[in-house]
């Protein structure tokens, strides 16, 4: 949705005009502008001011300027430069597509019991300034997050009681059984104690000379561009093929798409209306893309309000939606309809109960929808559906302003439901207002994104846990159960996933949650929201792809350290 990571997607932050766009929501395109540019880009012979990558360096189109770049390499800051994620490393990398762990600073982890977790820290590693990396750096980092809750973006200390080390082993004592929490600990970026211990206020610290463990260190910084170079002290420096990374300040959809079509980037994360024409065709042999699911874009129905509190009504809405049409219109055919089980497929297929037809993607059936509606007293008068009390059925869907793909998806939903005689309006408040309406329940229906953690517990917990919701009129606060689903059975199943390390019991609980998603329809999943990834194999190969999905192709967040240690120079 937003600006490329930043204004990520088009004008704004899906590339934030802001910024930045990244995932599907990110396309903030001033549609007209984007279209104009794309069309224009096709026939242009203009020379670019940005040269294609050469000489071994790689230009990455991901960091949105606003419009220039503020220097901030604090890995716990919400305003850090994207390049920070190429420099700091976690204990283990977790592939959010399928939940697979890859050891980084730790060689692995295990549960001593379901409240005690141990990570073994790799030996003989050095920070970029040559000092050794030890288990006490790990303990220090976690205690830093305890001391400064503003840095604790993953809420670690809501689960953690204490952390200790002995030799190379770091032991985490949890408040209560919390097996899925291992992932959150594993993903935390570790910082050097000898630097951070003397920082007076780590919340406002901008870390201008980052001392790091990962593949890259800062080489130079200008307000319009910064450069990272290979860290020779990195413990896996021999796996790092690209010597230099260039991050130009992106400026949103308008110019970013033009630059992409000029081959200005070796790696980018942009939604573009016609990927073949504006990227692949510019160098068919090398210009590749992969848009795996990063979430399920879903229709949230306010379950605390009539008529959405009626399961039969929700069932009818679900049957009345042609998800293929919605997916195609919203995302230009780049993504598939989503499974109503709530799982992101194919990544999480090992958790999928095989008994669902069509992998849990509901079948489009208007006749069945009408039959369901009449079974609960609704009837059609001409082209208008009337409720049992005789009033026309209508509702509005809220979608954040600028998320052009979602908006077009919501309009298609409205069109589809029009066939049932339901009148749907799409309203597009600014993001903050949209968020506020979700939190306080002042909406009828909304577009939102679910899943994407690579871990069914985290995905279902954030969506369905009773503890994350609130009555209408009260804010869910930090809770994300906006649809206001409350079910003791759901909570019991979630709790089971918290306490068990037994794969059979885990699978059984996940199957139970899938069934709730599929039969009770707490939200209607529509289509997968893509993680946009365009990359060039001209100089480097080994990129993640559908055939080798070792990471999402995102040049931001967790994947960069994984991808930069998996690329090789083209032979």
Per CB under 8 A, which of residues 165..204 are in contact with other proteins?
A: 203-204
Nearest CA-CA partner of 177 in 489, 497, 505, 513: 497
Given candidates 75, 180, 214, 295, which one binds other proteins under the rule CB under 8 A?
295
The site that binds other proteins (CB under 8 A) totals a number of residues, namely 93
Nearest to 195 by CA among 121, 261, 244, 129: 129
Minimum CB distance to other proteins, residue 197 (Å): 20
**What sign does the dihedral 449-563-269-530 (CA atoms) show?**
negative
Q: How far apart are CA 330 and CA 411, in angstroms?
A: 9
- Angle between helix 311-319 and 366-375 (nearest 10): 160
Sole binder of other proteins in the list 83, 192, 214, 252 (CB under 8 A)? 252
**Start-end of H helices in 169-225:** 181-187, 193-196
Choose between 68 and 164: whose C-beta lies nearer to other proteins. Answer: 68
Give the number of other Cβ atoms within 10 Å of residue 320's Cβ: 24
Of the candidates 253, 99, 115, 251, which has an alpha carbon nearest to the alpha carbon of residue 173? 115
Residues in 223-242 at the binding interface with other proteins, rule: CB under 8 A: 223-225
Residue closer to other proteins (CB basis): 101 or 300: 300
Please say which residue, 19 or 278, places its beta carbon nearer to other proteins: 19
The CA distance from 447 to 473, in Å, is 19
Stretch of residues binding other proteins (CB under 8 A), selected from 87-95, 284-292, 321-329, 474-482: 474-482
User: Smaller CB distance to other proteins: residue 71 or 570?
Assistant: 71
Tell me how crowded residue 20 is: count the other CB atoms within 10 A of its CB: 38
CB-based contact 218:84 (threshold 8 Å): no
- For the segment 521-560, give every residue that binds other proteins (CB under 8 A): 529, 531, 554, 556-557
Encoded one letter per residue, x for contact with other proteins by CB under 8 A and - for no contact, window 104-143 reads: ----------------------------------------
CB of 428 to other proteins, least distance (A): 13
**Does 1 help bind other proteins (rule: CB under 8 A)?**
yes
C-alpha 318/C-alpha 310 separation (Å) is 13
Q: How far is the CB of 256 from other proteins (least distance, A)?
A: 10
**Residue 440 touching other proteins (CB under 8 A):** no
- Binding string, residues 355-394; x marks residues near other proteins by CB under 8 A: ----------------------------------------
Say which residues have a Cβ less than 8 Å from residue 224's Cβ, sequence separation at least 6.
65, 68, 69, 248, 249
Q: Per CB under 8 A, which of residues 37..76 are in contact with other proteins?
A: 37, 40-41, 44, 46-47, 49-50, 65-68, 70, 72
Per rule CB under 8 A, is residue 278 in the interface with other proteins? no
Asked if 249 touches other proteins (CB under 8 A), the answer is yes
Rounded Cα gap, residues 23 and 4, in angstroms: 8
Q: How many residues does the chain have?
A: 571
Tell whether the torsion through CA atoms of 73, 77, 79 and 82 is positive or negative: positive
The residues facing 222 across adjacent strands are 225
Residue number, 429 or 542, with CB nearest to other proteins: 429
> Min. distance of Cβ 94 from other proteins in angstroms?
14
* CB of 76 vs other proteins, minimal distance in Å: 8
């Amino acid at each position: 949705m937003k600006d490329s990571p930043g204004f990520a997607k088009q004008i704004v932050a899906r590339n934030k005009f802001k910024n930045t766009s990244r995932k599907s929501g990110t396309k903030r395109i001033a549609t007209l502008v984007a279209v104009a540019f794309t069309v224009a880009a096709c026939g242009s012979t203009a020379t670019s001011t940005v040269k294609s990558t050469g000489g071994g360096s790689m230009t990455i189109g991901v960091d949105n300027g606003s419009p220039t770049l503020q220097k901030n390499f604090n890995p716990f800051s919400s305003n850090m430069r994207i390049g920070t994620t190429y420099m700091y490393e976690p204990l283990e990398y977790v592939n959010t597509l399928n939940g697979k762990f890859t050891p980084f600073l730790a060689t692995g982890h295990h549960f001593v019991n379901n409240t005690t977790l141990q990570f073994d820290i790799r030996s003989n590693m050095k920070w970029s300034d040559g000092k050794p990396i030890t288990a006490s750096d790990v303990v220090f980092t976690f205690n830093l997050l305890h001391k400064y809750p503003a840095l604790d973006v993953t809420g670690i200390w809501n689960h953690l009681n204490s952390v200790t080390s002995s030799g190379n082993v770091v032991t985490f004592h949890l408040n209560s059984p919390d097996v899925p929490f291992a992932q959150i600990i594993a993903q935390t970026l570790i910082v050097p104690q000898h630097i951070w211990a003397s920082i007076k206020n780590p919340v406002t610290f901008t870390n201008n000379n980052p001392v790091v463990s990962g593949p890259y260190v800062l080489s130079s910084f200008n307000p319009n561009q910064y450069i990272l170079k290979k860290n020779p002290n990195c413990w896996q420096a021999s796996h790092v093929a690209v010597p230099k990374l260039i991050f130009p300040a992106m400026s949103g959809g308008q110019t970013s798409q033009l630059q992409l079509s000029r081959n200005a980037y070796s790696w980018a994360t942009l939604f573009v209306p016609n990927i073949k024409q504006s990227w692949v065709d510019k160098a068919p042999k090398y210009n590749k893309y992969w848009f795996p699911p990063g979430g399920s874009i879903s229709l949230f129905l306010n379950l605390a309000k009539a008529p959405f509190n009626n399961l039969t009504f929700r069932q009818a809405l679900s049957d009345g939606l042609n998800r293929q049409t919605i997916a195609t219109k919203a995302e230009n055919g780049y993504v598939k309809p989503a499974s109503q089980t709530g799982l992101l497929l194919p990544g999480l297929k090992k958790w999928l109960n095989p008994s669902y037809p069509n992998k849990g993607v509901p079948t489009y059936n208007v006749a069945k929808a009408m039959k369901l509606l009449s079974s609960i007293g609704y009837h059609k008068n001409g082209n208008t559906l009337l409720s049992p009390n005789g009033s026309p059925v209508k509702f509005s869907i809220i979608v954040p302003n600028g998320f052009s793909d979602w908006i077009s998806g919501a309009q298609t939903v409205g069109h589809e439901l029009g066939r049932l005689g339901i009148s749907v309006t799409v309203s597009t408040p600014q993001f903050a207002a949209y968020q506020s309406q979700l939190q306080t329940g002042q909406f009828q229906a909304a577009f939102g994104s679910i899943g994407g953690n690579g871990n069914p517990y985290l995905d279902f917990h954030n969506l369905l846990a009773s503890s994350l919701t609130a009555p209408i009129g009260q804010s869910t606060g930090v809770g994300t159960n906006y649809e206001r689903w409350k079910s003791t059975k759901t909570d019991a199943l979630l709790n089971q996933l918290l306490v068990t390390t037994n794969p059979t019991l885990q699978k059984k609980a996940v199957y139970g949650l899938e069934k709730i998603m599929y039969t009770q329809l707490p939200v209607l999943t529509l289509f997968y929201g893509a993680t946009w990834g365009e990359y060039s194999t001209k100089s480097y190969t080994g990129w993640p792809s559908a055939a080798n999905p070792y990471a999402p192709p995102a040049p931001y967040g967790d994947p960069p350290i994984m991808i930069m240690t998996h690329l090789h120079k083209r032979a």
